[in-house]
Amino acid sequence: MSILTIAEAAKQISAKKLSPVELAKTQLERIRRLDPELHAFLLVTEERALADAKAAEARQMSGSLRGPLDGIPIAHKDIYCTAGIRTTAHSRLLETNIPAEDAHTVKKWAEAGVVLLGKLATHEFAFGGPSFDLPWPPARNPWNIEHTTAGSSSGTGAAVAAGLILGGTGSDTGGSIRGPAALCGIAGIKPTYGLSSRRGILPLAFTLDHAGPMAWTAEDCALLLQAMAGHDPLDPASVNRTVPNFTADLGKSVKGLRIGVVRHFFETDNRASDATRKGIDAALDYFRKEGAEVRDITLSPLADYYAVGYLLMITEAFTLHGPWMRKHFHDYGELFRDRVAVAATVSGPDIVQATRRRRVLCQEMAAAMSDLDIIVSASQPGEAPKIADLPKWAEKPSFTMPFNVTGFPAISICTGFGEGGLPVSIQLAGKPFSEPMLFGAAHAYETAMPWRSERPAMAV
């Protein structure tokens, strides 16, 4: 069986041409064959998967399918709590943690009929990694297993790219959905802050955490987000507004879309690789040719956005983890504990200054967006580096953090491959709650380009 997208599988399941049980068995066999090298899974829930698949198949046969996710094999990042199923955050501290309740999204996806294949690798507590001093190894990039997936939704990125799952959950505090999506050559969206509930997801930073989907295509992300978004009164950040149809703009022309390119982000502030910049320019040529208006814009230096986001992230993380860190410092992996311990050097006035500057940056981006539909930037500086070459400390500003700082939605999609044969990417950001338009633009680009027909060699 070839690797299907969610949209393709849903169509076949609906037409009774594909058995959810056979699909689940195929995926489990792929996991058995490929995951020993990839380490994308921390736990495979085979029994649960087959039970979910049988239930979906019964609905298929009785004509009572619940929608496009019914019978679709997925897995959750292991910071999403799953009732009765171990949820570890890839950490020794939670090695035996079995939650009593599902996370909001886990519950909603289950109600949509998904088939749960298991729990996926993450950087420890969505921040510390890739680490080699944890109970499980870090996930590897299926395009070349010597290379990193980026993080922290590392297992989801690897598992989707290798076709072990058709989609999965991620979380994004500074780029943890879009980074692995970029380096694994898939699609991943950080939705608008407040659009999807974070209840039941182990937190990293209150004001920056976002929950979102990752899949092979933007279209699949739209289908997954549809079953994820919506008001949750038990998440303090959750917005109470009507959930739009996220597939509404799929197939629409991009003519007339106004695109602003923050060229200084990826040409001077943190110069991206030749392949990344060429991929972005080729994408912009496509949008221009299809009738979009494209122009360069200038924002504050990328380092300003990164400094604000990073300081808030580590201090909020220390607020959450401080009590444990004081008692169990050496039970954390080195990367998480040292990166968060640095928060001890940040003062209260520094945090107030970061918060003030955050407001200025939010206003700046909102003003820039006032006559634009999309802001374009890089998603990652280049292809995935070798996992052994990653530094413990990184000072170069990330391209993804600006949209955590502002809460604006942003999607990463593949723009081809670099000199090393690994994927490169582009990031499209929109106004708050403009996800349908972002999916529409990303889908238009993806369907016009050949990249979605290429999978990692190990996966085919």
Partner 1 sequence: MSTIDEPSLKVMLARAGLPHSPEQVRAILPGAEIVQRMVARVNAPLPREAEPALTFDVEQK
- Residue ranges in contact with partner 1 by CB under 8 A: 239-241, 303-304, 306-308, 310-311, 314, 318, 322, 325-326, 329-330, 334, 338-339, 341-347, 350, 352-360, 392-393, 395
Min dist CB 381 to partner 1, Å, is: 17
Measured from the CB atom, the residue of 306 and 439 that comes closer to partner 1 is 306
Is the Cβ of residue 17 or residue 326 nearer to partner 1 in the bound state? 326
> How far, in whole angstroms, is CA 298 from its chain's centroid?
26
State the minimum distance, in angstroms, from the CB of residue 308 to partner 1.
Answer: 6
DSSP string, 297-310: ---S-HHHHHHHHH
Rounded (10°) CA dihedral 289, 292, 296, 298: -160
HSE-up of residue 432 (Cα within 13 Å, Cβ side): 15
77 is catalytic: yes
Listed in order, strand segments (DSSP E) in 370-409 are 374-377
Does the CA dihedral 222-228-232-236 come out positive or negative? negative
Residues 6+ apart with CB under 8 A from 236: none
- In the complex, what is the shortest distance from the CB of residue 377 to partner 1, in angstroms, rounded to a whole number? 19
The yes-or-no answer on residue 152 being catalytic is yes
Give 13 or 405: the residue with its C-beta nearer to partner 1.
405
Catalytic residue among 19, 153, 171, 176: 176
308 versus 428: smaller Cβ distance to partner 1: 308
Give the type of residue at 209: D
Catalytic residue, candidates 19, 91, 152, 171:
152
Report in angstroms how near the CB of residue 133 gets to partner 1 at its nearest.
13
Closer residue to partner 1, CB minimum distance, 76 or 321: 321
Question: Measured between alpha carbons, how far is 67 from 429 in angstroms, rounded to an integer?
Answer: 28
From the candidates 77, 108, 190, 431, give the one annotated as an active-site residue.
77
Amino acid identity at 441: A
- Determine the residue type at 360: V
Give the nearest distance from C-beta 330 to partner 1 in angstroms. 8
In the complex, the smallest distance separating the C-beta of residue 412 from partner 1, rounded to whole angstroms, is: 24
Name the token pair of 266: 């990826």
Residue 198 vs 358, nearer CB to partner 1? 358
For residue 182, the SS3 value is helix
CB 26 within 8 A of CB 72: no
Sheet holding 423-430, edge to edge: 41-44, 115-120, 73-77, 167-172, 210-215, 187-190, 410-417, 423-430, 374-377, 258-261, 293-296
- Catalytic residue flag (residue 176): yes
- DSSP lists the bridge partners of residue 411 as 189, 428
Q: Identity (one letter) of the amino acid at 392?
A: K
Catalytic residues: 77, 152, 176
